[in-house]
């Protein structure tokens, strides 16, 4: 009997990703894969496409959608289910989890006349708490990494088959994805893959599984030429079909003919790299060093038993911006599921899409358009919630909306919403245009990432460069692709020690705009990242902090009081400062987000042109965002601005991304100061 080889592709695009990006993925990966796959009816494979992507393909790429149907109806392919909008299942409430799986089941059943029994686990994030919900949706088997088993103590040699687990009496079969196959397929010659299959078959293996990103087949760097133009996929299919040791198989057939190897219980986790990425940067660097040092003494699977990174949910700790989006959906879910309104639930489920909540080798959270989409659906859902619940506006809600132990205040009005964080001294963390579903406070702080220095390192020569000219070709995986970033970009490695919100309170000896841009200013106060007491009014909220200014070893008492009130045309603000220090500069910092920050104007001037004249009204806008932001002060003030840029790792090497516009307004105070004004969207 030949070794069953389960090959599956997982394909996903973030909800409402740029359409040209999706079209490119279809052209270079999804369509040529199916065209090649259907040339050989002995090629059995599994398919997982997220629901939104299937919708888009059905509407815009009928040829591909038709080929999917042909593959399933002929018995060549098996569809897998999952969350419709690709949420990390362990990160959303159980009812949402069940409904999203049922939605994708329904789409597959209606369009392809089959009921999926297998489930693709988003980002392979495993938590046994999902088992009962999956089982109730008809799921019989789930795909995880072999790394999950290794961390539980299994040996790699034990993982050539499938297993059974349970939670609260609900059974679930689990198939481990072979890490070795993940790095062979499609990056090494087909003969290398077949040799490994024979090795496993000869050792008594029962089956092998490779289930990975479909984008590896044509969309990742250099893979289109390798997989299709040079014929890797065709050669691979033929090589396996001609093999005496292995054959392609569907999961649904294997579970009918083979019993699970044994029971297994897996710890919460994802793949190894995800564990590294979810740690704070210094921890990631230390983990990489430790693994490298241990590599001289121990085998790879031995190291992975004892050396683990963080868990996926640690991204919500690492990035407050991620946590804020996630908790907005969590709070929405509690209320939406009581109402059972279809429009409201659809917006909620779209907002649960995972991509914007984390950052690894791809942009994720660092991509402003993905954050824009998340807020679009959150604002849309909350607008519908106001309609269904009949909330009278303006309204002020308070509570710990982001689950950080401190209350937030949410002021809702007809045209805009405003959210404030008491944990950050009453800073504005949401400035939302309800007409256009846009959050002008959708910014991102600049943080040190473990990969930053690696971006500037010289690429190490590949071992293949030392091979003879007759050596067979291969391509690098995306984890091994090295592109050196120009040293000119090093100036963008500037890291903020506080969140980049609006109405941040700084106290400095002297104001220099450049010092704020490169974060070399001397902070004297304890307000920019410290909590304040919050008091709710009928249509307003007030924050008070009794803090201090620290100089020459002494603390000088300072009381800061900030009051925000909803107006018909915006939000008024009043900031009152009482200080024992006579000579100090107070700097109000606001960070705003627009669609085209490179071409954002302040009173008609480009951001690159520093604002030096005094004015009492500042209008900030660009041509790509439907509305702009206006800030009016009671007196003339001087404003300085710069574009906040981040340098982040990406599949192409590195991306320099505009994350926000930072506005700085300095005030010289002599014992006290009162700053009044209004901020509005229009």
| Whether the Cβ atoms of residue 42 and residue 80 lie closer than 8 Å to each other | no
Tokens encoding 363:
């942009």
Residue tagged 């995800």 (tokens)? 274
Q: How many whole angstroms separate alpha carbon 219 and alpha carbon 227?
A: 10
Cα 669-670-672 angle, rounded to 5 deg: 75
> How far is 16 from 52, CA to CA, in rounded Å?
8
For residue 467, give every residue at least 6 positions away whose Cβ sits within 8 Å of its Cβ, in sequence order, or none.
none
Q: Is 19 exposed, middle or buried (0-12, 13-18, 19+ CB in 10 A)?
A: exposed
Strands 170-177 and 601-602: unpaired
The structure tokens 């000869």 sit at 202
Q: How far apart are CA 365 and CA 355, in angstroms?
A: 7
Answer yes or no: are the C-beta atoms of 480 and 408 closer than 8 Å. Answer: no
DSSP annotation of 263 reads B
CB 320 within 8 A of CB 496: no
Compute the distance between CA of residue 502 and CA of residue 644 in angstroms, rounded to an integer.
Answer: 14
List 51's β-bridge partners, or say none. none
Active-site residue flag, 213: yes
Contact 446, 452 (CB under 8 A): no
Count CA atoms within 13 Å of residue 643 on its CB side.
21
Q: What backbone torsions phi and psi does residue 375 show, to the nearest 5 degrees?
A: -70, -35
List the catalytic residue out of 78, 96, 123, 346: 123
Q: Can you name the residues that pair with 629 across neighbouring β-strands?
A: 620, 681
Candidates 131, 252, 234; CA nearest to 186 is 234
Q: Give 362's contacts (C-beta < 8 A, 6+ positions apart).
A: 355, 650, 651
Cβ contact 145:266 at 8 Å: no
Residue linked to tokens 């990406």: 650
Instruction: Report helix, strand or coil for 553.
Output: coil
Give yes or no for a contact between 17 and 222, defined as CB atoms under 8 angstroms apart.
no
Which one from 109, 166, 192, 213 is the annotated catalytic residue?
213
629-638 and 601-602: which strand pairing?
unpaired
Run of H or E residues at 373: helix 368-389
User: What is the CA angle 485-490-494, rounded to 5?
Assistant: 135
Name the H helices within 486-636.
513-517
Percent composition of the chain: helix, strand, coil (DSSP 3-state, to 5): 35, 30, 35
8 A C-beta contact, residue 605 and residue 672 = no
Contact between 101 and 108 (Cβ < 8 Å)? no
Tell me the C-alpha distance between 85 and 360, whole Å. 20
DSSP label of 425: T
Task: Identify the H or E element spanning 173.
Answer: strand 170-177
Residues recognised as catalytic:
123, 213
């Amino acid at each position: 009997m030949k070794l069953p080889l389960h090959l599956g592709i997982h394909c996903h695009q973030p909800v409402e990703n740029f359409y040209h990006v999706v079209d490119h993925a279809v052209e270079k990966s999804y369509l040529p894969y199916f065209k090649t796959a259907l040339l050989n009816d002995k090629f059995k494979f599994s398919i997982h496409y997220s629901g939104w992507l299937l919708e888009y393909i059905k509407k815009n790429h009928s040829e591909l959608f038709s080929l999917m149907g042909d593959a399933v109806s002929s018995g060549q392919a098996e569809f897998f289910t999952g969350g419709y909008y690709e949420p990390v299942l362990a990160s959303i409430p159980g009812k949402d989890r069940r409904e999203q799986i049922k939605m994708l089941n329904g789409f597959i059943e209606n369009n392809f006349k089959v009921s999926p029994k297998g489930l693709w686990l988003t980002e392979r994030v495993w938590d046994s708490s999902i088992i009962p919900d999956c089982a109730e949706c008809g799921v019989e088997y789930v795909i995880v990494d072999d790394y999950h088993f290794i961390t539980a103590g299994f040996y790699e040699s034990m993982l050539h088959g499938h297993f059974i687990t349970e939670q609260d009496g609900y059974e679930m079969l689990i198939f481990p994805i072979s890490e070795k196959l993940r790095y062979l397929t499609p990056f090494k010659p087909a003969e290398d893959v077949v040799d490994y299959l024979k090795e496993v078959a000869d050792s008594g293996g029962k089956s092998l599984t490779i289930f990975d990103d479909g984008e590896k087949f044509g969309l990742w760097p250099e893979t289109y030429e390798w997989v299709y133009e040079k014929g890797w996929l065709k050669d691979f299919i033929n090589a396996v079909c001609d093999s005496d040791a292995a054959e392609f198989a569907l999961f649904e057939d294997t579970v009918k003919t083979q019993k699970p190897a044994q029971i297994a219980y897996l710890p919460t986790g994802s793949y190894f790299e995800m564990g590294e990425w979810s740690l704070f940067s210094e921890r990631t660097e230390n983990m990489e060093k430790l693994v490298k040092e241990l590599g001289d003494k121990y085998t790879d699977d031995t190291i992975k038993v004892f050396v683990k990174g963080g868990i996926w949910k640690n991204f919500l700790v690492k990035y407050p911006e991620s946590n804020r989006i996630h908790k907005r959906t969590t709070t929405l879910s509690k209320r939406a599921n009581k109402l059972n309104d279809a429009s409201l639930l659809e917006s909620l489920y779209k907002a649960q899409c995972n991509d914007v909540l984390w950052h690894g080798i791809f942009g994720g959270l660092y991509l402003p358009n993905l954050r824009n989409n998340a807020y679009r659906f959150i604002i849309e859902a909350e607008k519908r919630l106001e309609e269904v619940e009949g909330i009278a506006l303006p309204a002020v809600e308070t509570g710990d909306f982001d689950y950080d132990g401190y209350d937030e205040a949410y002021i809702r009005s007809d045209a805009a919403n405003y959210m404030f964080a008491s944990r950050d001294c009453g800073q504005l963390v949401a400035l939302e245009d309800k007409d256009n579903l846009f959050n002008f406070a959708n910014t991102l702080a600049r943080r040190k990432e473990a990969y930053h220095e690696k971006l500037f390192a010289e690429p190490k020569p590949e071992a293949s460069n030392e091979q003879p000219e007759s050596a067979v070709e291969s391509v690098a995986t995306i984890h091994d692709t090295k592109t050196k970033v120009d040293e000119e970009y090093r100036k963008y490695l500037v890291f903020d020690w506080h969140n980049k919100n609006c109405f941040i309170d700084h106290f400095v000896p002297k104001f220099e705009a450049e010092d704020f841009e490169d974060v070399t200013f001397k902070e004297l106060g304890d307000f920019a990242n410290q909590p304040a007491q919050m008091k709710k009014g009928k249509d307003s909220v007030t924050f008070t902090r009794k803090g201090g200014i620290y100089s020459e070893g002494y603390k000088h008492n300072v009381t800061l009081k900030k009051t925000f009130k909803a107006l018909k045309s915006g939000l008024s603000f009043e900031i009152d400062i009482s200080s024992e220090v006579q000579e100090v500069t107070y700097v109000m910092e606001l960070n705003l987000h627009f669609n085209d920050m490179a071409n954002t104007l302040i009173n008609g001037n480009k951001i690159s042109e520093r604002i030096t004249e005094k004015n009492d009204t500042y209008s900030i806008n660009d041509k790509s965002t439907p509305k702009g932001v206006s800030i009016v002060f009671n007196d003339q003030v001087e404003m300085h601005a710069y574009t906040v840029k981040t340098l982040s790792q990406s599949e192409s090497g590195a991306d320099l991304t505009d994350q926000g516009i930072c506005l700085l307004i300095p005030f010289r105070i002599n014992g006290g100061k009162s700053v009044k004004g209004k901020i509005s969207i229009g």
